[in-house]
Amino acid sequence: MAGTPRNPALSGKQMLSEQVYAHLKNAIMRGDHAPGDALKPQDLAGERGVSLAVTREALVRLVGEGLADRLPNRGFAVPSFSDQRWQEIAEARRTIEPAMLRMSVERGDVDWESRVRAAHHRLVRTPAYGPEGGEYYTGAWAEAHRVFHRTLLEGCGNRALLETFDRLWTASELARRWSAHRDPDRDGAEEHRRLEEAALARDADTAAAVLVRHLTLTAAALADDQGRTTD
């Protein structure tokens, strides 16, 4: 844990909790802990050389972000693929984001157009995977991806809607990583190109339709074996 920047406003316990939280979040996002795996506080505390209280505090924070579940009398666990929450989040996003995109197409100015182009260029030029390979997106690509989607919607000019987008994006980040792993043949780059093209052409109908399909494909990859769909 050496090398982590010190924040004088944080106590020693808070700093340790922040470090454990960051470590666990990265491990879950990388797929080090499989969906449904138990996250045992005692084992995790021993691995990191910290107290049980510090580890529990970090796990509770992950629960708040949707990256872990708190199980009654059973501790903590990584959410499962088939959890209903992913479909509910996807439904919420398919309801809200296309409407926001329509508003952006109608209201966005030249500055918004420039920012959309720049965000898409950054996304295209950012490697999705590290030089060592791997199945999960790099942090840099994930951030470029978030910025592109948010920039598309910022033209709506509605802060309340953008705050809702931010919450839903954070809640769906883990599902998005899993979806990419389960559907490796999907051409996400082409989907993003079509989104940019339709938005800047001021074609609200096409832009909204492309976005709905984009979000539906992400959720569909996580549909459970009983055939639950995202339609």
Q: Which CATH class is domain 84-220?
A: mainly alpha
Q: Which residue matches tokens 């950054």?
A: 122
Asked if 55 contacts 75 with a C-beta cutoff of 8 angstroms, the reply is no
Q: Which residue matches tokens 């505390």?
A: 45
Distance CA 179, CA 156 (A): 28
Q: Where are the domain boundaries for CATH 1.10.10.10 in the chain?
A: 12-77
Asked if 40 contacts 84 with a C-beta cutoff of 8 angstroms, the reply is no
- Tally of residues, the chain: 231
Q: What is the pLDDT of residue 4?
A: 46
> With a cut of 70, which residues of the chain have pLDDT below it?
1-11, 131-136, 181, 183-184, 224-231
Helix (H, G, I), strand (E, B) or coil at 74: coil
Q: What is the pLDDT of residue 138?
A: 79
Q: What is the pLDDT of residues 143-200, one digit of tens each?
A: 999 999 999 999 999 999 999 999 999 888 888 877 776 766 788 899 999 999 999 9
pTM over 0.85: no
Q: Where are the domain boundaries for CATH 1.20.120.530 in the chain?
A: 84-220
Residue 26: is it exposed, middle or buried by C-beta count within 10 angstroms (0-12/13-18/19+)?
exposed
> Could you tell me which CATH number the domain at 12-77 has?
1.10.10.10
